[in-house]
A and B are shown apart, each in its own frame.
Chain A
Amino acid sequence: MSELIHASHNIEPAHDHILPVKTYLKVYVALMVLLVATVGAAFVNIEPFNFALTMVIAIAKAVMILLIFMHVR
Chain B
Amino acid sequence: VIPFPLEQIANLHRLAPEIILCVFGIAIMAVDPFIPGSNKRVMGWVGLIGTLTALASVGLVASDPGPAYSNLISADAFSVFIHVVVIVAAALAILGSLNYLDAEGAQRGEYYALVLFATAGMGILGGANELVTAFIGLEMSSISTYILAGFRRHDAKSNEASLKYFLLGSFATAFFLYGIAMEYGASGTTKIDGIQSFLIGWRAGHASPPALAILGLGLIFVGLGFKVVAAPFQIYAPDVYEGAPTPVTALLASAPKAATFAVMLRIFLVAFGTTADIWFWAVFLSAILTMFIGNLAAIVQSNVKRMLAYSSIAHAGYVLVAFAAATSVGVAAVLFYLAAYVLMKLGAFLVVTHLGQKGEKRLEIRDYAGLGLKQPALAACFSLFLLSLLGLPATGGFLGKFFAFQAALDLRDPRFVWLVVIAAVNSVIGAYYYLRVIIVMYFWEPSQDYTPTAVAPPLRVALIIAAAGTIYLGLFPGRVLFLAKTAADSLSLR
Q: Do A and B bind each other?
A: no
